[in-house]
């Protein structure tokens, strides 16, 4: 209750804040994994700074921070610690609902599947999990991975039982979950992973794939997004567009330079994965970087509304996005 009360207080404070002044500094959050590669490219190549100068906005100082999950990012935006956040569509939709639409999507980031891996040889489907299993994901109840599990469980056991496996979930950052799953020395027996963690885990002979999210949804969807407040967007339209332009530039560079993008990812994140694995992931046709959203993001908001996790259901995908995307 205390945490929820704090969240509501921050949301109220956030909504009532006076319009921000024109920005000369920009604070942006990202998270772990290849889903955030466009933002990693933005930071390394200083594309926001470059595009800001080209747009006549002068020198913009950009500060980057990395969070382990969407809930932390949401709190940071509400408290004013950052100007823009990135994360899964599920935490964003919850924030859109809590702020009564005062937070919207500035740009999509990617379309990529989440993969449920397990080291328990007896787990072939969701029905095989027992109380001896523990499923790692970034944030219990609120992460997009948690929502994916609930949607998959609802399809298997009926929507009334959507949270049937929630008691098996454990909050862990993706890098920590990878280590826990593959070490053989942890209670973690499964992980709903993003890339590159999903593929890296599968290099371990004890790990097998149970399912991926594309199989659950029957195809692609917008996985992660960059969002911000209505005040920031209205008060800084040129800078907001600069960010979108920079993301588009990063997407195009990644598409045309897969090996260099893989090298950049490993260098910036200081990850130890083999280059060929990262390059192979980037060449996977199921992984696509684009700032343009897919309208079926409402599948997630519809489900959250149906289970009572949000109070308002958007009538269309456009309600979740700023005009720059809708146009």
Question: What's the rounded Cα separation, in Å, for the pair 75 and 59?
Answer: 28
Radius of gyration (Cα) for the chain, nearest Å? 19
| Residue 174 sits in the same domain as residue 304 | no
Q: Which residues pair with 193 in a beta bridge?
A: 115
Domain boundary among 198, 217, 236: 217
| Residue 134 sits in the same domain as residue 256 | no
Domain with 80 in it:
2-110+223-326
| Residue 152 sits in the same domain as residue 244 | no
DSSP code of 19? P
| Residue 145 sits in the same domain as residue 208 | yes
**Per-residue pLDDT for the chain (327 aa), expressed as one digit of tens each?**
455 555 555 555 555 443 445 678 999 999 999 999 999 999 999 999 999 999 999 999 999 999 988 788 999 999 999 999 999 999 999 999 999 999 999 999 999 999 999 999 999 999 999 999 999 999 898 888 999 999 999 999 999 999 999 999 999 999 999 999 999 889 999 999 999 999 999 999 999 999 999 999 889 999 999 999 999 999 999 999 999 999 999 999 999 999 999 999 999 999 888 999 999 999 999 999 999 999 999 999 999 999 999 999 999 999 999 987 766
Domain boundary among 182, 217, 252: 217
The domain that holds 55 is classified in CATH as: 3.40.190.10
pLDDT of residue 273: 87
| Residue 234 sits in the same domain as residue 247 | yes
Q: Name the domain count of the chain.
A: 2
| Residue 130 sits in the same domain as residue 194 | yes
pLDDT of residue 19: 44
Cα 227 to Cα 62, 136, 253, 255, distances in angstroms: 16, 25, 22, 23
Domain boundary among 187, 217, 247: 217
Q: Give the pairing type, strands 61-66 and 25-30.
A: parallel
| Residue 244 sits in the same domain as residue 187 | no
| Residue 95 sits in the same domain as residue 183 | no
Residues whose CB is less than 8 angstroms from the CB of residue 322 and which lie 6 or more positions away in sequence, other chains included: 104, 105, 106, 233, 240
Question: What's the rounded Cα separation, in Å, for the pair 24 and 125?
Answer: 51
Backbone angles phi, psi at 65, to 5 degrees: -140, 145
pLDDT of residue 166: 97
pLDDT of residue 318: 94
């Amino acid at each position: 209750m205390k945490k929820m009360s704090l969240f509501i207080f921050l949301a109220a404070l956030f909504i009532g804040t006076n319009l921000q002044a024109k920005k000369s500094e920009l604070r942006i959050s990202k998270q772990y994994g290849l889903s955030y590669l466009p933002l990693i490219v933005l930071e390394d190549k200083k594309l926001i700074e470059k595009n800001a100068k080209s747009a006549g906005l002068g020198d913009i100082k950009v500060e980057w921070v990395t969070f382990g999950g969407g809930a932390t990012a949401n709190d940071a935006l509400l408290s004013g610690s950052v100007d823009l956040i990135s994360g899964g569509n599920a935490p964003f939709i919850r924030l859109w609902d809590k702020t009564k639409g005062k937070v919207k999507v500035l740009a999509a980031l990617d379309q990529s599947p989440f993969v449920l891996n397990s080291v328990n040889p007896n787990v072939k489907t969701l029905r095989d999990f027992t109380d001896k299993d523990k499923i790692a994901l970034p944030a219990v109840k609120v992460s997009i991975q948690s929502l994916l599990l609930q949607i998959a469980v609802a399809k298997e056991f009926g929507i009334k039982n959507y949270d049937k496996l929630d008691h098996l979930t454990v909050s862990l950052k993706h890098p920590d979950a990878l280590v826990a799953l593959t070490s053989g020395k942890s209670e973690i027996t499964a992980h709903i992973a993003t890339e590159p963690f999903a593929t890296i885990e599968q290099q371990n002979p004890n790990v097998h794939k149970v399912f991926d999210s594309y199989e659950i949804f029957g195809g692609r969807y917008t996985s992660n997004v960059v969002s911000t407040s209505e005040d920031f967007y209205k008060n800084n339209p040129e800078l907001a567009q600069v960010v979108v332009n920079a993301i588009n530039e990063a997407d195009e560079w990644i598409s045309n330079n897969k090996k260099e993008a893989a090298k950049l990812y490993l260098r910036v994140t200081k990850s130890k994965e083999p280059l060929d694995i990262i390059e192979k992931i980037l060449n996977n046709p199921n992984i696509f970087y684009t700032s343009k959203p897919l309208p079926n993001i409402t599948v997630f908001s519809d489900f959250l509304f149906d289970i009572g996790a949000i109070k308002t259901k958007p009538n269309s995908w456009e309600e979740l996005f700023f005009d720059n995307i809708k146009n």
